[in-house]
Amino acid sequence: MRILHTADWHLGRVFHGLSLLEDQAVLLKQVRQIAREEKADVLVMAGDVYDRGLPPTDAVELLDETLSAFALDLQIPVLLIAGNHDNAKRLEYGKALFAGRNIHFFGSVGATAPDPVVVPDLLGGDVYFCPLPFCDPLTASQASGASIKDFEAVLRWQRDRILTKVPAGARTVALAHTFVTGARQSPDSERPLAIGGTTNVGLSVFEPFQYTALGHLHAQQHLGPKAAYSGSLMKYSFNEYVQKKGVVLADLAADGAVTLTDIPLTASHDLDILRGSFAELMAHPDPEKAGRYLQVTLTDRTPILDVKAKLETVYPLLLSVRYEQLQAAQEETAVEARRGLSDQELFREFFQQVHGEAMSVQEETILRETLEALERERRNA
């Protein structure tokens, strides 16, 4: 069986004030073309379909167009699970009707385990696809009636109950949206799965499966022979500018062995970083980078009036300008120092400045629980 694995589409993403929807549409057409040319038997999407719980209308329209093409043109099964950016309930709208077209959504996690999706393989029997959509420990505890304290325990609980619905000896494929210990992260790009506490899981959680299609981390990477992150659909942070984006083709043999092949995607506009003085960049523009979304780092020691507008005359897709050595703008320097800090870390720093002392253990607990409640409210809005 040939499985086309993708994840982290983040449809509706706005990057430095720019909507990326047109770029995403081009890339999703490439995913469909790859499915057609490579004769994929099934498409799996491992979470973060949308960039936020309440996606813009045009993002929903793009998903509708994409899934219609898979159902009506390619006529292959599609499985999608919710990620931490998705609203699980909204993602499941119309799921029973979609299932009739072999489009399967899995978002909410409740007391009853979802049924695996069975995809026939004429050469080696059926393959059981086991969705493990994103779920936090509190939701899992409420659904199970037991105390589940961390994300690894959540996934073990999800895994164990869905495997009871799989015949002994059958080949299985898992879909999960999580952070596996030791995997490569993309700073300033991936939203934390929770506020405080440990969110990573061991790869051993997925040992029972012949292949695990992972989502959440934006860098494409293989985690041994049986699991991989396909990576995000495109570059969503300047920290990702050196990454190669694509999909993973997983060929599952009759004996359960898996062969993984990375297939690249080509964005309409690549993401890049340019460094130099204002005078150098204006006098000697790089034509190759003129068509890319750019972050420019200036080496000038003094600020330049209306610098972004001037640079845009030679780099029309310029999105961000930074000064490498300029220290006079203390406010800007302070903002940069805090960039990448979590909400909990930012509040902890604020508390220290206001009160002149660190937060107590009890105050840290109240803060964490409050932020987690807000995050659940955001996902379920």
Is the separation of the CB atoms in 288 and 270 below 8 Å? no
DSSP 73: I
Per-residue pLDDT tens listing for the chain (381 residues): 999 999 999 999 999 999 999 999 999 999 999 999 999 999 999 999 999 999 999 999 999 999 999 999 999 999 999 999 999 999 999 999 999 999 999 999 999 999 999 999 877 789 999 999 999 999 999 999 999 999 999 999 999 999 999 999 999 999 999 999 999 988 777 676 665 556 899 999 999 999 999 999 999 999 999 999 999 999 999 999 999 999 999 999 999 999 999 999 999 999 999 999 999 999 999 999 999 999 999 999 999 999 999 999 999 999 999 998 874 444 455 555 566 566 777 777 776 655 556 777 777 777 777 777 766 666 666
Distances (CA, A) of 113 to 117, 200, 205: 12, 22, 17
Give the pair of three-digit tokens for residue 374: 């807000």
**In which element (H, E) is residue 46 found?**
none
Contacts of 369 (CB under 8 A, 6+ apart): none
Pick from 276, 317, 279: nearest CA to 298: 276
Structure tokens at 249: 């083709």
Identify the helix (H) or strand (E) that includes residue 52.
none
Task: Please report how many Cα atoms fall inside a 13 Å half-sphere around the Cα of residue 337, on the Cβ side.
Answer: 8
Distance CA 270, CA 300 (A): 26
Q: State which amino acid sits at residue 30.
A: Q
Inter-residue contact 111 to 102 (CB < 8 Å): no
